Structure 1
């Protein structure tokens, strides 16, 4: 396992795992669900080689960060903005490039409309927006209650979510089996399984993005790039076009033969897309 988050910080009383790689202009990367900073392991080297300093971290309740026992701890999209704020203070970052994937994009949108002046640029990779999530099936499960899913036998749980994760790739055969096990391990077992439903699924609530959807125009004050897997079935490209239309001047870039987990399935192309976009701001 190549975990690129290798240090800890205490943010608002909670342990957050993070990592810093390379030298140069700071780039903060926010992962989504059901993943961790591990998803950036193939992207970060390309950023470092291009002269950027990559800051990665595991969201509260995800990956190698703390999984709080207190159910009142806010691990929602909105709650994670406070975690980002604390890490930016820890890192001493005033302005920076921001890159986000999946629900990390919801965090980035909320941060960005509030603190646009701190962004040097924004790259949104296959992100949630508006009411693009959760799926109808997940909405039904949430309405019925997640307690039973927390108690599903481990083998059954892992089999179901293995199939679910495979659907993040345009070609499931491209999913590295070792990496697939890493993602499954994070959301399985006596800690991972209940934590997944309490800290991730329970917060699949579109109000966090709908609340700021009428403010997305503010992001047009900075360079914005939606970067999307052309074959994404979780956040289909129609949402990419809607997001582009809501952010003046944003420039959509599609990655062919790529699904929702673009940083996992096409890390070289994702790194190239980010670097090309960031380098353009230097000219």
Structure 2
């Protein structure tokens, strides 16, 4: 099965830092890079991207290293953390030949975006963060309890038990779990289950749920003062409660905060068209002045 048959947004692979990364480009216009979170993939943008393309933007998506359709490295030293995936993002920007761009991020992707942004403000046309991790907002108390059991033990649980547990976990990303598209839920579960997906979830994702990656740049977020920044949050987000949205809003001077009622943590999945509308409106209002040629 081809990449595009699994995920309509992905149609290419690139080798970045010696690893295979699945990615795709859609549309034409000002470039927008979208970074997904955990335990998902760029699949979460599938209903957002068409709206951005129709609005005249060129979208660039990829699956983080260790996620989705990108490589799941066997090497235990492969860095698939937030910080490690900043390097993947930087490599793809070279592949895409992007100098400046709009950056949109969700969940763990927001940690990647924060670390990239504070060191590269001159390359960002704007930054939009949706229900993102920040400071020491993660892992949640429930996830800490799971981690305390031991990741190796969790990775070896039966497929049936694993799928049941993480189905319940993913359903909690919606304000109304009954509204989670069953086909989409199966797709997300498929990425993190089976003989590769289940151990990969723990090796490449959960083991790296360490707030050091965002705490290290938390006191630098005020450096984004000259970057147009928008925060979008689900009012019913149970994973990253809305208090964190207000803290981020205070930490980033001039940032905008938009809260979507009756929406949980997976806002791009649960309310894609409202998310896309907020993004396109913000990008349209974000004046961009290119850096003079050196």
Fold match (TM-score > 0.5): yes
Cα distance 1:183–1:235, how it changes in 2: closer, same or farther (>3 A)? Answer: same
Shift of the alpha carbon at 1:135?
1.1
Give the SS at the match of 2:31.
strand
Gaps of 5+ in 1: none
Say which of 208, 221, 242 aligns to 1:237: 242
The answer to which of 51-60 and 138-147 deviates more is 138-147
Task: Summarize the alignment of residues 182-221 of structure 1 with structure 2, pairs less than 5 Å apart.
Answer: 182-221=187-226
- Give a deviation string over 1:106-158, Cα, whole Å, max 9, x none: 00000001111110000000000000000123223334420000000000000
Are residues 1:44 and 2:49 paired? yes
Gaps of 5+ in 2: 1-5, 289-294
Give the SS at the match of 1:193.
helix
- TM-score, normalised with respect to structure 2: 0.95
Shift of the alpha carbon at 1:177?
0.2
Say which of 216, 221, 229 aligns to 1:224: 229
- Give a deviation string over 1:238-280, Cα, whole Å, max 9, x none: 0000000000000101111110000000000000010000011
Shift of the alpha carbon at 1:2?
4.3
Contact 1:3 1:37 in 2 (8 A): no
Count of residue pairs the alignment pairs up: 283
Contact 1:46 1:268 in 2 (8 A): yes
Contact 1:20 1:54 in 2 (8 A): yes
Are residues 1:83 and 2:93 paired? no
Alpha-carbon RMSD across the aligned residues, in angstroms, is 1.0
Say which of 254, 257, 264 aligns to 1:259: 264
Task: Summarize the alignment of residues 110-125 of structure 1 with structure 2, pairs less than 5 Å apart.
Answer: 110-125=115-130
Contact 1:22 1:51 in 2 (8 A): yes
